[in-house]
Chain A
């Protein structure tokens, strides 16, 4: 599980933390009841409200916020890097105490760090990392890709007779989390099977993945493996295979995220969709609120600089273990 796998990473901005601490202490000592009682505002830029895990994530975050007495500003910008940036700038104009952001475009988000610090607020990144951040919860995308790549290589060797296998990637070229996932998977497969052939198409969601896989299968009917950058996309790829007239023999469809439907399909041992790289959504939701709390209250670095590992959920994973991960959706 992700919680146990979380580990501390050395790097910390003590100065900012103490500044925030001084500010809090200063306000408290001035004895202004109204200001002192004002609830802290945490802006939570989680873009993908459409994702299946979103509600589990948000429930965990809101429960934690309730516990700490924080207000949460929710994001409605969607999966567009430009809109996300515009939304963050709107929040900056309104003012907040901490910004937690899943940056769709890490480079574009970098200048925001300084602006946040100008307002004496905290900048916390999650999913990927941004230079100058106060704390982070990084998804171990490249580690996950290495895991999935190794699993895929094993599948090729055992089921498809080794070399020369065809692998399809459904990806998006402009989102770093996604490219990290797919590139590291490709590298891990190539490390073991250098003569593997790769075909790439753009698809983040199920309807697009359905069309892309249909096209890929027309060109490469012998392609047995499709790796999708999201679990939603994996569902579309599965539909394409199911209705292609090609059998499920030795097919492997894998996705990232640990979405409910995908986990249930893996649990039911679906012949097509066999892998989901699952994040512990509940733990992430709790931590995006807990990290600012820890920073304001001098918590240890292990609680503010977190690397969140993925768990490879496959047909070999015990049903009880899948149920544990699924519990966040109930």
Chain B
């Protein structure tokens, strides 16, 4: 194998094997780790982040980002809670919660995808703004106690599988289909990697990101409602730090932050990696500091691999394909 092949292989599969290694270590350290109940708990703990990660990864593939996810989640939960308190009833209250998330997503999408504002600035504004609005709405008084029907969303089970996991798997399946089997996947790579070309070829370079922001807002709102259901209360702390958890899973999964390259399978493994790490470290009763350090190290490793991979791809491939080619010719010949 050439150095380039090794790197390509590592970049594609490294995370998967790191995950397997991690699971092996924890299984060795704790007999209760590798059990069906604990694996279910790990999936359950990451189902909400997972829901939001799917549209989030698509946005990053397009070269965009949504930092407002956690704040949209809490805003949706709070709006739901207030609606329940005001006697709107469960279906209407849930629709209001989800609607406010979609609306905020559409607002993000309009400003960023249609008008061309900076995604970081607009969604950073949303990060502060949506949470501030949620705090303003509650005035410090958390609503709680929504009854057994709503509790099914976060705590119910279908054929023994917790509802949040089922919702996550549905969203993941839709995401995988769009990413790999529908034209959208290629279009997102084109938008993120060569936007002008994509536009020239008639790809809707504004509408695709717009709808992704709407999807991200909707997924965040759904996540917020699930957590509110699990806690049976619209705590103002819902979604705190969620944007970073979402970004960590996506970037660990090898989606390039500049857009145009990445795999949703990788993102899924990134999500599991973080979930397994925090669950496992609690299981073996290791200092909470270690979790942060381990995730940080894994992210740096992923970033380094990504950079090496990109450089090798640029430098070596053309030369390798045509060994007789004079060095100064072709696009890849010179540094």
The distance in angstroms between the C-alpha atoms of A199 and B283, with both chains bound, is 9
Cβ contact within 8 Å between A205 and B240: yes
Which one of B133-141, B189-197, B204-212 is at the interface? B133-141
18 pairs, A vs B, C-beta closer than 8 Å: A51-B140, A173-B289, A199-B282, A200-B285, A202-B288, A206-B231, A206-B237, A207-B235, A207-B237, A208-B240, A210-B230, A212-B282, A214-B45, A215-B279, A218-B279, A219-B32, A219-B285, A329-B141
Q: How many residues of B contact A (CB 8 A)?
A: 38
Q: Contact size class for A?
A: 35 or more
Cβ contact within 8 Å between B140 and A214: no
B37 interfacial contact with A, CB 8 Å? yes
The distance in angstroms between the C-alpha atoms of A239 and B232, with both chains bound, is 8
Please encode chain B, from 224 to 238, with 1 for each CB lying within 8 Å of some chain A CB and 0 for all others. Answer: 000100111101111
Cβ contact within 8 Å between A261 and B142: yes
Q: Which B residues fall within an 8 A CB radius of A?
A: 30, 32-33, 35, 37-38, 41, 44-45, 132, 135, 139-142, 144, 155, 227, 230-233, 235-240, 278-279, 282-285, 287-289, 291
The distance in angstroms between the C-alpha atoms of A208 and B236, with both chains bound, is 13
A294 interfacial contact with B, CB 8 Å? no
- A200-B288, A218-B37 given. 6 additional CB < 8 A pairs? A201-B288, A205-B235, A205-B237, A208-B240, A219-B282, A261-B233
B residues within 8 A CB of A205? 235, 237, 240
A50 interfacial contact with B, CB 8 Å? yes
B residues within 8 A CB of A7? none
A residues within 8 A CB of B288? 173, 200-202
Contact of B41 among A52, A173, A214, A329 (CB under 8 A): A214
Q: Which A residues fall within an 8 A CB radius of B?
A: 49-56, 58, 76, 173, 199-202, 204-208, 210-212, 214-216, 218-219, 221, 232, 235-236, 239, 242-243, 260-261, 329
Nearest 6 CB-CB pairs, A to B?
A55-B140, A205-B237, A202-B288, A50-B236, A219-B283, A215-B282
A residues within 8 A CB of B142? 52, 260-261
Cβ contact within 8 Å between B32 and A235: no
B residues within 8 A CB of A49? 135, 140
B residues within 8 A CB of A210? 227, 230-231
